[in-house]
Amino acid sequence: MAHTRKGSKKGHPLDSLTPQVPRSNYLHLQEEKQRLQMKKFLLDRIFLVASIQENVDKEAISDYYEQAFQTILKYHVGEGVTGLLLIYPTSLLHILESSNGTLLRILLDYVNHVKNDEEFLIQNVKIVTVSHDIPTRIFQHWHISIVKVPVIYLDDVTQSLSLNEVLTDFLTLTHKLGIYLFKTVKVGAKGPGDNLHLVAPDLLLPEQIIKYLCRAEELVDPETFLNMYSKPIHVTFDSEVVWPAPSHF
């Protein structure tokens, strides 16, 4: 008997085992290249506040950080620093994005300067928060902005706020400012300049909040942070535990 084979839409059984070649385009290639470049190290972000010595040239502060970055990057090649340095009349706000090792060296450099020079131009540095393994950078470069025009406040609102409330305002405004700069500052541009008080007055953090955080005892200074980071964690192994627990009569 002749067997009539019916047509079937199913392919050969081995077709399902054949590896499929993924289709890509130039955009996907560039995104993958950027992803690999950015994942050479885990990216951290740190928020710092500090007081400024009286009669200190504001440009000397930016020069100090630029020289420190150049020295540190010799040991951490490819781990560039991005962020924002806002220099107020008597205080500063510093946001830094880089690898964990680079940020630790920046803190250590400051600690060494303070130990060797009691009248170092930057004083009372406090670490507000540290974010580990962030997905991406907010700042494309390291920007400097000198707030030349002081803002006069009739009442110091921080006097009636708790530390948690001040921290909430601090993180909210700095995040909004970072997003604003990310959208407005073009790649390759020098940065926002010294007119943030004109282009984004509602996003500029009041100096009284920075001075409040510099006085907050709950926030740690770089030396304390580095000591905590370097301190070994005591781990109790199962072999060290005796059961039942010894009792004394």
CA Rg value for the chain: 27
Asked if residues 83 and 95 have their Cβ atoms less than 8 Å apart, the reply is: yes
Distance CA 93, CA 9 (A): 67
CATH number at residue 220: 3.30.70.100
* pLDDT tens per residue across span 96-148: 999 999 999 999 999 999 999 878 999 999 999 999 989 889 988 898 988 87
Distance CA 80, CA 98 (A): 6
From residue 93, give the alpha-carbon distance in Å to each of 84, 127, 147, 206: 8, 10, 11, 10
Domain residues for the domain of 85 are 41-225
Tell me the β-bridge partners of 127: 48, 220
Question: Is residue 239, in this structure, part of any structural domain at all?
Answer: no
Question: Is residue 83, in this structure, part of any structural domain at all?
Answer: yes
Question: Is residue 33, in this structure, part of any structural domain at all?
Answer: no
Question: Is residue 29, in this structure, part of any structural domain at all?
Answer: no
In the block, residue with structure tokens 């020069």: 63
Kindly report whether the global pTM for this prediction surpasses the value 0.85.
no
* pLDDT tens per residue across span 145-191: 888 765 555 456 677 889 999 999 999 999 999 898 888 876 555 66
Mean pLDDT for the chain overall: 80
66: which 2 tokens? Answer: 């630029």
Question: Is residue 18, in this structure, part of any structural domain at all?
Answer: no
* pLDDT tens per residue across span 115-124: 998 789 999 9
Question: Is residue 150, in this structure, part of any structural domain at all?
Answer: yes
Question: Is residue 238, in this structure, part of any structural domain at all?
Answer: no
Distance CA 51, CA 67 (A): 20
Question: Is residue 116, in this structure, part of any structural domain at all?
Answer: yes
Count of domains for the chain: 1
Residue 43 burial by Cβ neighbours in a 10 Å radius (0-12, 13-18, 19+): buried
